[in-house]
Amino acid sequence: MTRGVVGVPLGWSAGSLVALAVAVVFGISAGAASLSATDIVLHLLSLLPFGTETPLTERQAALLVELRLPRVIMGAVVGALLATAGAAYQGVFRNPLADPYLLGAASGAGLGATAIIVFGSEFSDSPRALVPVAAFAGALVGVAAAYLLGTTAGGGGTSSLVLAGVAVSSFLAAAQTFVQQMGTDQLQRIYAWLLGGLGRGGWDDVRLIAPYTVLGLLILLVCGYLLDMLALGDDKAVSLGLNPAIVRIVVISAASLATAAAVSVSGLIGFVGIVVPHIVRRLVGSSYRAILPVTMIVGAAFLVVVDIVARTVVSPAELPIGVVTAFLGAPFFVLILRTTRHHAT
């Protein structure tokens, strides 16, 4: 198969981009007020310099630009962040079951974000801007705790790391519940946020996480080659001039930053970081130079499609997007767990 300069199969990279474009158009068009794909494309073109005249009415244009477009973009960004972070965790821990949700990163980010939602106004005039930072700190604490517990108490195997992640996530969830009860006036907002969703966001949220998104994804994409070297083993990596400890710190920090950025605006959305990387790995092979960029694109398309399901399957009501990903991801996780144990025996 023809490959690009970074080792990404051109067919899969082009196909994933097409899938993302199709998902975005359908995501924008889906809803109670019908908008055709053709009208959407023509309106978006009309926003460009020297663009054509828009076929939409003023009300339709406002619906498109102020409500649907930021929601779809947010879904694509969150999906890209969670999927890429999951692939990076799997590479750095050499564990096919590593995932932001299972490693405690998402729960830690949730605790940090909840703390700011409840207490942020007491020490800042703009607490909302602190949510991604607090979520990042919480994600780092969650991953570090799960990794240390899994390696020191359980030997560092696949099952040990997963069990450690579950234990840490449970503890952090309990701490989050405790924090919630100290801010009862924010309970409805927090519970809606915990179930995961994109309906609350807008252009402000897109702008809020933009710098964290760019920084986290850029670092992870650059580290694809380093993860391939780590896969050879620490001794081989050292012989090639690599410092495995520094690489792990950088990758874990960037993956935690990506997770925190996603969680801070969408809440807890599980299984994206384990489903998408495994699908991509079967398509493009085992090199992280190919896995990471394709996973980023496929993850974006995946969550946009999941959001379409979440807001149409019980229309006019709306399912929390975290519920939909759990329905899809839980059976997939069981399948991966069975496959992993089969290969280990």
Q: pLDDT at position 192, please?
A: 66
In this structure, is residue 33 part of a structural domain? yes
54 DSSP 8-state letter: P
Q: pLDDT at position 155, please?
A: 61
Of 29, 47, 49, 30, nearest to 38 by C-alpha is 29
Average pLDDT score, the chain:
84
Give the N- to C-terminal CA distance of the chain in Å, as an integer. 33
Q: Which residues are registered as beta bridge partners of 3?
A: 9
In this structure, is residue 3 part of a structural domain? no
The Cα–Cα gap between 218 and 61 comes to 33
Of 112, 105, 71, nearest to 86 by C-alpha is 105
In this structure, is residue 102 part of a structural domain? yes
In this structure, is residue 309 part of a structural domain? yes
320 Cβ partners below 8 Å, 6+ apart? 192, 195, 196, 197, 310
Query: Each residue of 199-258: pLDDT tens digit?
Result: 666 888 899 899 999 999 999 999 999 999 998 888 898 998 899 989 988 999 999 999
In this structure, is residue 2 part of a structural domain? no
Does residue 4 have a pLDDT over 60? no
The Cα–Cα gap between 90 and 44 comes to 38
Question: CATH code at 307?
Answer: 1.10.3470.10
Does residue 43 have a pLDDT over 90? no
184 DSSP 8-state letter: G
User: What share of the chain has pLDDT > 90, as a percent?
Assistant: 31
pTM for the full model? Answer: 0.86
How many domains would you assign to the chain? 1
Q: Which residues are registered as beta bridge partners of 9?
A: 3
Using a 10 angstrom Cβ sphere, with 0-12 exposed, 13-18 middle and 19 or more buried, the burial of residue 332 is middle
| Phi and psi, residue 94, nearest 5° | 50, 45
Q: pLDDT at position 5, please?
A: 41
- 297 SS3 class: helix
Highest mean pLDDT among 54-58, 62-66, 79-83, 95-99: 79-83
253 DSSP 8-state letter: H
Does residue 158 have a pLDDT over 70? no
Q: Tokens 């001794």 belong to which residue?
A: 235
Q: The domain containing residue 327 runs over which residues?
A: 10-344
The per-residue DSSP string of 69-101 comes to HHHHHHHHHHHHHHHHHHHHHHHHHT-TT--TT
Do 139 and 256 meet the contact criterion of CB atoms below 8 Å apart?
Answer: yes
| Of 3-17, 93-107, 247-261, 318-332, the least confident | 3-17
Does residue 331 have a pLDDT over 90? no
The Cα–Cα gap between 30 and 90 comes to 34
The Cα–Cα gap between 294 and 189 comes to 34
The Cα–Cα gap between 331 and 69 comes to 31
List the Cα angle 252/259/280 in 5-degree steps.
85
In this structure, is residue 72 part of a structural domain? yes
Q: Extract the tokens encoding 279.
A: 């699908």
Torsion of CA 206, 207, 209, 211, to 10 degrees: 130
Query: Each residue of 78-108: pLDDT tens digit?
Result: 999 999 999 999 999 888 778 888 788 888 9
The Cα–Cα gap between 275 and 90 comes to 12
